[in-house]
Amino acid sequence: DVKVTQSSRYLVKRTGEKVFLECVQDMDHENMFWYRQDPGLGLRLIYFSYDVKMKEKGDIPEGYSVSREKKERFSLILESASTNQTSMYLCASSFWREGPTGELFFGEGSRLTVL
Amino acid sequence: AQKITQTQPGMFVQEKEAVTLDCTYDTSDPSYGLFWYKQPSSGEMIFLIYQGSYDQQNATEGRYSLNFQKARKSANLVISASQLGDSAMYFCAMRGLTGRRALTFGSGTRLQVQP
């Protein structure tokens, strides 16, 4: 089975702290994604990556950055956490395919609270 | 760009009855894929079913079927014979042929199955 592992299920941080959310997948997937989930808004794409050292902005990249130094690992970084970044963060991965097929495989999520 | 609309924030259904969760979409891509995910209270995202825009038949996976009406741009999920374990958030998502490889998600529908 595909396994996507997020380093922390629950985090509590203070405003202004630097926060690292780590994600590792074990299926050699080319694509990796970071989403944010908020009630009533669904999942919104923050950043994604097609390959090592490659990244592209999603719909809500402000206040976030990412790093992909190895194919299996995709990190989300909050340079200076703010209270409006309190949310559930979901990492996902997928194979590259031609066309619109191919589901995303998700980690269990990281619930971040910024005080 | 793609857009997914789920207009039912919450739904109730009696155990053993069928339920339809609504999803409408908008895209300029000539080819696209539609996905449904289930998110139980534990938080993991579970892939349920996929429908390609050029598929001739509606997709089915066990008790899940996708009522795809291309002209109306709708992709409703039908769950037959509801079970208590079906209580969860359900998200509709899509990806186009062109553009980025990420999925665009709707805001979700919370389904509660009552005994």
Digit-coded pLDDT (tens) for B8-45: 999 999 999 999 999 999 998 888 999 999 999 999 99
Chain centroid to Cα A79, Å, comes to 15
| Residue B92, pLDDT above cutoff 90 | yes
Whether residue B91 and residue A42 make contact (CB cut-off 8 A), yes or no, is yes
CA atoms within 13 A on the CB side of A44: 14
**Which token pair is A82?**
């703010």
Give me the residues paired with residue B114 across strands. Answer: B14
Rounded Cα distance, A48 and A92, in Å: 9
Per-residue pLDDT at B99: 67
CA atoms within 13 A on the CB side of B95: 22
Per-residue pLDDT at A97: 73
Rounded Cα distance, A95 and B115, in Å: 40
Range scoring the smallest mean pLDDT among A52-66, A73-87, B95-109: B95-109
Per-residue pLDDT at A96: 77
Place of tokens 């941080």: A13
**Selected residues 77-106 of chain A with any CB under 8 Å from a CB in chain B:** 88, 90, 92, 94, 96, 99-106
Provide, for chain B, the percentages of residues in helix, strand and coil under a 3-state DSSP scheme, each rounded to the nearest 5. 5, 55, 45
Return the closest-CA partner of residue A106 out of B9, B35, B77, B39.
Answer: B39
- Is B105 an interface residue toward A (CB < 8 Å)? yes
Sequence-separated (6 or more) residues with CB below 8 Å from residue B47? A103, A104, A105, B35, B36, B37
Whether residue B42 and residue A99 make contact (CB cut-off 8 A), yes or no, is no
Q: What is the DSSP letter of A103?
A: -
